[in-house]
């Protein structure tokens, strides 16, 4: 199994990061979004040492704008 290198998007607020995680969960058609299960997100936001919120997006479909601001570490 191939190891996936983490890629992060960093947000100012938890809500912004969670909204992006929700969007990806919807696009991946996770069961939460069809009311048939509990899987909602592929990854969940976590707080960084500087009080921002990071989301591991290594397996997300990123927009061009997101690709320009992604980070390899947080």
Domain ranges across the chain: 8-60
Q: In this structure, are residues 12 and 51 in contact, taking their beta carbons and an 8 Å threshold?
A: no
Give whole-number Cα distances, 68 to 17, 22, 63, in Å: 17, 21, 9
Give all strands of the β-sheet with 46-47 in edge-to-edge order.
Answer: 8-11, 53-56, 46-47
Contacts of 71 by beta carbon, 8 Å cutoff, 6+ apart: 7, 8, 9, 10, 54
pLDDT in tens, 27-72: 877 776 677 776 666 888 999 999 999 999 999 999 999 999 999 9
Closest CA relative to residue 11, chosen from 72, 69, 61:
69
Tokens 């696009």 belong to 27
Give the global pTM.
0.82
């Amino acid at each position: 199994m191939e190891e996936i290198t983490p890629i992060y998007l960093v947000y100012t607020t938890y809500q912004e990061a969670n909204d992006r995680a929700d969007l990806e969960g919807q696009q991946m058609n996770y069961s939460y979004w069809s009311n048939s299960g509990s899987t909602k997100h592929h990854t969940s936001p976590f707080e960084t040492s500087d009080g921002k919120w990071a989301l591991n997006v290594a397996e997300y479909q990123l927009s061009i704008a997101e690709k320009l601001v992604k980070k390899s570490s947080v």
